[in-house]
Structure 1
Amino acid sequence: MTASSNLLRIHHAINRQSKRAYHDLITLPSKKPIISQGPPGYSAVTGHVVTVFGCTGFLGRYLVSKLARQGTQVIVPYRDEDEKRHLKPMGDLGQIVPMEWDIRNENQIAECVRHSDIVFNLVGRDYATKSFDFASVQVDGAERIAKIAAQSGVPRFVHVSHLNASATSPSKLYQTKAEGEERVNTAFKGATIIRPGPLYGYEDKLLNNLAIWPIWWKLNDAKTRTRPVHVMDVAQVLANLVHNAQQGRTIALPGPSTLTYEYLLDLVSSLTFQPPSRAPVVPKSVALAVAKAAQAVWWPLLSPDEVVRRYIDDADTPGDWDSVGVTPSEIEQHAIQYVRRYRSAENFSRPNVFPPRPVLVEEEVGLGF
């Protein structure tokens, strides 16, 4: 068989895959047609246009990557020119569209969403600053984005909150997350609310900080219970929602296991072959005083609200993973990828050692999370 005949067969195969069929046409409630084309993958066209607010953050970069690899055109609003540069090569030519925006500028928000058929709001912050406190971002900002999306005729809106969102929480972050959910549901009828647990991954503030600042994770004698979830799993759930018609519901995404900070400290220490921290347990009053003093620094190492959150167990809420087609990963499956960098040169290739998991009281009596 000649090379020319091989090329001809490949050409015909691509043409067959590129032909549009009836199942490639989706009509949204807004009467806007979504037409996919080409074989699945980086250079395909799903027909969807998606806006991801908060795309330059931890979760946002992985969501943009997953969407772009499907052939979805992604609008990436940014504040700083350098913060969005890594997003550009995630999609094919013209598929990643950067647009400058400010959360207080309604005209810029409207420009970012006016061509989209689904909008994700991942914007949030875990400490307050003079320019942006918790409420201005997670309440007023979330409501503003949802309201403008509704006015622009966007069919679907997905808002990412937190597993511990509660109006009665002692933490301002969790309070404003709950209030933001209410405002979003009022501004955009049928919005989908996502409540993930604490995220871990390459750029996380969980495993990395456990390795660098173990003393601040010993608050509450390291007995606080947490339900960490892999950032890739949450990003996959969000990406699946583009092709999932379910709306108007709250989806809880806790990690598959309930662990203590004490166990996570042991896990990081075992994987990095660093001796366990001998730092004393800092009283809450001292930690709050240090955190308040650190607020004078431009980049706070620990905010007062974060100290409060170290004493709050993650909510005992059943997960909705089955409804979104994703099985969450245990933290031991991925932790070595993110903490290996903290090993010394002689220990870099040593086999992994995992500490035994402690049995929590609820699990002893058959009431496991």
Structure 2
Amino acid sequence: MAFRISHKRLLSDVAITRTGRPLVRVEGGRSSLGGQTATVFGATGQLGRYIVNRLARQGCTVVVPFREEMTKRHLKVTGDLGRVVFMEYDLRNTPSIEASIRHSDVVYNLVGRDYPTKNFSLQDVHIGGTERIAEAVAKYDVDRYIHVSSHSAAIKSPSEFYATKARGEEVARRLFPETTIVRPAPIFGFEDNLLLKLASVLNLFTANNMQEKFWPVHSIDIGAALERILYDDSTIAQTFELYGPKQYSMAEIAGLVDKEIFKKRRHINMPKALLKPIAGMLNKVLWWHTTSADEIEREYIDQVIDPTAKTFSDLGIEPGDIANYTYLYLVSTREEVVDIIKRQVSLPSIARVP
């Protein structure tokens, strides 16, 4: 007992970063000033807003590299005036990456792509992009580098997405050995690619009879975990698997969605040999995304959890069950709610007396 007490960190202890700087954590609040500078690559995606908001509330100055002007506007209000700084960059342009990193104490890499595009392949994003970011982190001796990968990442995976994610992890650890790797399960939340996709009429064709199994995780829980990892130096060079408390199949989640939106969506199951080439062709021909060959491949791969990795419990977080959040994220998709909104929009405006 005496040994454990003597080695327990007290609130009065001063935390020191790898480079010797004191790690200051303030009481928090929109106008607080903590002295840390964080760069968040990929902040314009679904997960980015949760970590940017949390860092800004802790008084951090958050640097948000962006590619397209219209995709980063919502992040402007996640922090007080001057707390969120935007810098235009290109994932293939090393000087722009270095400019976003050189003054930072911590770098988050949330960059990822579910499908290849005409401009970027999965290798370009998950391997090439990671290599340039990790090299810049090492060059400027940044205190912390937190790399967000994916569940089921494996070099020999039949999915190119999972394989390139695993190779990206290897590149990050090779260039910056203190890298903290985070592997989130499929994420649900506002503007997600899970609940809202299943609620959409466009999600018509599926494969594997929707029997893919995984542990869905709440985006807010992931944001909380990413923040705690920053302030806990015992997480350096560790790997975290962050997943929900219960395993579901895609069909079971589709059932929860149908129950919440009061309408049963039709899903037509197609053979993999037929759907995969069609999906690959659509992804190349259409300028908007529908699906891709690799996404069809992933429907046949269940989530694999690394038993040696740390989890939410090591961060003192209890993840939420997706069944408790379906109403929150799907109530606006109910037909009667949509009809009410349409009627309100179509009502003639009342003339105002001057």
Q: TM-score, normalised by structure 1?
A: 0.84
Is residue 107 of structure 2 the alignment partner of residue 107 of structure 1? no
RMSD: 2.0
Contact in 2 for aligned 1:214/1:265 (Cα 8 Å):
no
Residue in 1 that maps onto 2:289: 300
Is residue 57 of structure 2 the alignment partner of residue 69 of structure 1? yes
Aligned CA distance change for structure 1 residues 56 and 276 (closer, same or farther; 3 Å): closer
SS of 1:50's equivalent in the other structure is: strand
In 2, distance between residues paired with 1:347 and 1:341?
A: 7
1:131-210 equivalences in 2 (<5 Å): 131-210=119-198
Identity score, percent: 38
The gaps in structure 1 that reach 5 residues or longer are 1-21, 350-369
SS of 1:341's equivalent in the other structure is: helix
In 2, distance between residues paired with 1:316 and 1:149?
A: 28
Residue in 2 that maps onto 1:235: 223
| Cα offset, 1:243, TM superposition | 1.0
| Cα offset, 1:317, TM superposition | 3.8
After superposing on structure 2, the runs of 4+ consecutive aligned residues of structure 1 that deviate more than 6 Å are: 346-349
Q: Identify the match of residue 120 of structure 1 among 75, 95, 108.
A: 108
Is residue 34 of structure 2 the alignment partner of residue 57 of structure 1? no
Residue in 2 that maps onto 1:255: 244
In 2, distance between residues paired with 1:292 and 1:145?
A: 29
| Cα offset, 1:284, TM superposition | 1.2
Q: Identify the match of residue 274 of structure 1 among 245, 263, 266.
A: 263
SS of 1:75's equivalent in the other structure is: strand
1:24-103 equivalences in 2 (<5 Å): 26-35=15-24, 39-103=27-91
| Cα offset, 1:94, TM superposition | 1.1
SS of 2:47's equivalent in the other structure is: helix
Residue in 1 that maps onto 2:204: 215
In 2, distance between residues paired with 1:23 and 1:92?
A: 28
In 2, distance between residues paired with 1:105 and 1:64?
A: 23
Is residue 333 of structure 2 the alignment partner of residue 330 of structure 1? no
Contact in 2 for aligned 1:24/1:35 (Cα 8 Å):
no
Deviations 1:167-205 (Å, cap 9, x if unpaired)? 111100000000000000001011000011001111111
Contact in 1 for aligned 2:134/2:175 (Cα 8 Å):
yes
1:277-288 equivalences in 2 (<5 Å): 277=266, 279-288=267-276
Q: Identify the match of residue 332 of structure 2 among 341, 347, 353.
A: 341
Q: TM-score, normalised by structure 2?
A: 0.87
Contact in 1 for aligned 2:241/2:305 (Cα 8 Å):
no
Residue in 2 that maps onto 1:355: none
| Cα offset, 1:68, TM superposition | 1.0
> Partner amino acid for 2:331?
R
Aligned CA distance change for structure 1 residues 276 and 36 (closer, same or farther; 3 Å): closer
Deviations 1:329-359 (Å, cap 9, x if unpaired)? 000111111111221217999xxxxxxxxxx
| Cα offset, 1:28, TM superposition | 2.4
In 2, distance between residues paired with 1:142 and 1:345?
A: 45
In 2, distance between residues paired with 1:36 and 1:300?
A: 41
Deviations 1:186-226 (Å, cap 9, x if unpaired)? 0101100001100111111111111114433x411121212
The gaps in structure 2 that reach 5 residues or longer are 1-10, 341-354
Aligned CA distance change for structure 1 residues 346 and 159 (closer, same or farther; 3 Å): closer
1:5-24 equivalences in 2 (<5 Å): 23=12
